[in-house]
Structure 1
C-alpha cells in the first residue's frame, strides 16, 4: 500500500510540474489546485499516522511532527466528521466551548472608543490593539479549527505592541504616524514577505489585521441580522469571500477556511456558546452596533492605507 501511494504521488507531482510550464495547455490554476490537494493529503496522512499508531504504555508520549495549529485543526475536523469522536467530545463537556472571558459589550466599547477618539482619522494605535485583543477572544470562541487564525492574530498584536514599547514608540502612536515614519525611513519591504532575513514592518503587520477586520465586521453584521438561513457556517463562508481577506489568500488557505467554517454550529448554539449574560435581543443589538463600530475603524484605516498607497504590501 505504501509503495502504491508513493508511486501515485510521484506520478501526480510530475504531472503538476509539467502543467506548470508556460507552454502547457492546462491552466496553471488547475495545476496549483492539484498540487494543493496533494499537500493536504500528505498532511492529513501524517496526522493520521500519529493518531492511529498505538504507543507502548512504558514509552514517552508521542510528539507531533506537525505544528500545533495543524494538529488542532485536524482534531476539530475529526470531532465534527466522525460520529464517535463527536459523541465523545459532547459527553466530555459539550461540543460548543464556553468562552466566558469574551465580552461583546467590551468589544463594542473598544471599537467605539477607537472610532470616536480625537485621533480617529489617524486611528489611535493603543485603542486599536485593545479592541483587537478583545476581538481575538471571539475568534477563540469559534472552536479549535480557528486556532490557527487566533494564533496569527495574537502574534501580530504582540509585534505591534513591541513597536509601542521600542525607542521609536512615539512614531507608532497612531496608524498614520506609523505609516509616515516607516514609508519615509524605507522600512516597508514591497518585494519580499517577512522572514528571518526580512523584518516585519508595522505597516505590513497591521494591514493583515485590517483585512481580517473586514471579514469579521461582515460576519458580525450577518449574525445580528440572522442572514443565510441562520447557518453560522454559511454566514462565515460568505463573509470571508465577501471580504478583502480572501483576495490575498492562497488556494490552500482558502480551502482550510472552508473546512473550518463548515464545523461551526447553528446560530442559536453559536450565540449560546459565547456565554454572554444578557437577553437575546440585547445581544443582537450589541452585535449590530459592534459591526458598525468596526466598520468605522475599518474605513478610517483603509483611507490611510489608500492615501499613502500601501494597500498591496506583500
Structure 2
C-alpha cells in the first residue's frame, strides 16, 4: 500500500472512531454539533413533514430531495413564541432538517450529525417522561421568572403557557428543571438545559456557515464551502473543543462538496438565488438563536459543564 493510500485509510479509521464516540456521547464535551429527523404521528415531539409550518412557505420545496430547505425555514419561523420564548417542537424539527442537511454533504461530514441526533433524542425522551407528571406542569409565573421583557410581555407569556407541559418551550424547560433540581452548575448531567446549550452552540456555527456561503465578495473569487465552514467552526465550536477534536473536524471539512452542490441542494441556479435562500434561513436561525441565548444568559446557563 502506498503512502497516500495509507494516509487516506488512516483518516477514514480516525473519523469512524470519532463517529462511534459521537454516537455514544463520548465526545460530549468536545463536539457540540448537529442533527437527525423523526416523524410525528400524535406523539410528543414526533413531527410530520408539515409540522411546525405555521408561517407561510416562503421558500419552495425541492422535489426528490431528502433535505428540504423550505421545511427547515418553516420550522424556524414557527419556533419563536410569545414575547421571548422558543417552542421546543419546531425547534427540534429544525434540527431534524439540519441533520438531513449535514448528511447530504457526504459520509465524512455526516458523521458530525450523530452527536446532535443524540442531543435531540435526550430532550425528546425527557419530554416523554415528564408527560403525566403533575410536578412537571408549569407554574403560573413561568415566563416572568428571570425575564426582562416587561410586565405586559411576561403577562402574555404566562397566560399563553400556563397549561403547557414542562418541555413545551425553552423557558418552561428551564423553569421546571431549575425547580426540580435537575440542573447542576458544577458537574455534567444530561439535563435538558445542558443539552440545549450544546445544540445552541452548534446552531451558531451553522448560522455563520450559511451566512458565509451566501456572501458575494467584492473580489471575483468565491471561497470554497470547505474553507468557509472551517472558518465558521474556528470562531464558534472550536472554542469548546480539544485540539484532537478540532483536527478531526477539519479533516471532515476537507471532504465537503463544492459550491455547485449547494445550488442543487436548495434548488437554485446561481449564487444570487443561493444568497436569497440562505439569508432567509440564516435570519430565521438568528431569531431563534437570540431568544435562546437570552433565556440561557438570564439563568446563568451559558457555561454549564
Band the TM-score falls in, shorter-chain normalisation: 0.5 to 0.7
- The answer for the alignment partner of 2:256 in structure 1 is 264
2:205 maps to 1:215? yes
Question: Does 2:295 match 1:300?
Answer: no
TM-score (norm. length: structure 1): 0.63
Structure 2 unaligned regions, length at least 5: 1-6, 22-62, 131-135, 138-164
Cα distance in 1, alignment partners of residues 64 and 110 from structure 2? 14
- Aligned match of 1:126: 89
Show the counterpart of 1:312.
303
Post-superposition offset of 1:279: 4.0
2:286 corresponds to 1:286: no
Q: Deviations over 1:238-297 (max 9, x none)?
A: 111122x2211111111111111122132123433x2x3444444431111000100110
TM-superposed deviation, 1:122: 1.6
Gaps of 5+ in 1: 1-40, 49-63, 71-97, 195-199
Aligned partners of 2:246 and 2:12: how far apart in 1? Answer: 21
Deviations 1:22-61 (A, max 9, x none): xxxxxxxxxxxxxxxxxxx9x949949xxxxxxxxxxxxx
Q: Residues 67 and 284 from structure 1, CA distance in 2 versus in 1: closer, same or farther, beyond 3 angstroms?
A: closer
Per-residue CA deviations over 1:142-194 (Å, capped at 9, x if unaligned) read 22112332111111111111122223471111111111111222211223324
Answer yes or no: is 1:145 the counterpart of 2:136: no
Bigger CA drift: 277-286 or 263-272?
277-286
| Aligned equivalents of 1:45, 1:223: Cα separation in 2 | 26
* Distance in 2 (alpha carbons) for counterparts of 1:149 and 1:220: 17
In structure 2, the CA distance between the partners of 1:99 and 1:210, relative to structure 1 (3 Å rule), is farther
If each structure's helix is expressed as a fraction of its own residues, which one has the higher value? 1
Q: Which of 60, 72, 81 does residue 107 from structure 1 map onto?
A: 72
1:154 aligns with 2:144: no
Under a length normalisation based on structure 2, what TM-score does the superposition of the two structures give?
0.65
Return the match for 2:181 from 141, 165, 186. Answer: 186
The Cα of 1:235 is off from its aligned counterpart by 0.5
- Output one character per residue of 1:200-240: Cα deviation in whole Å (capped at 9) or x when no partner: 10001111110000000011111111458331011001111
Provide the residue aligned with 2:55 in structure 1: none
Larger Rg: 1
What do residues 70-114 of structure 1 show as CA deviations (whole Å, max 9, x unaligned)? 8xxxxxxxxxxxxxxxxxxxxxxxxxxx98110111111111221
Per the alignment, residue 42 of structure 2 pairs with: none
What is the CA RMSD across the aligned residues, in angstroms?
Answer: 2.9
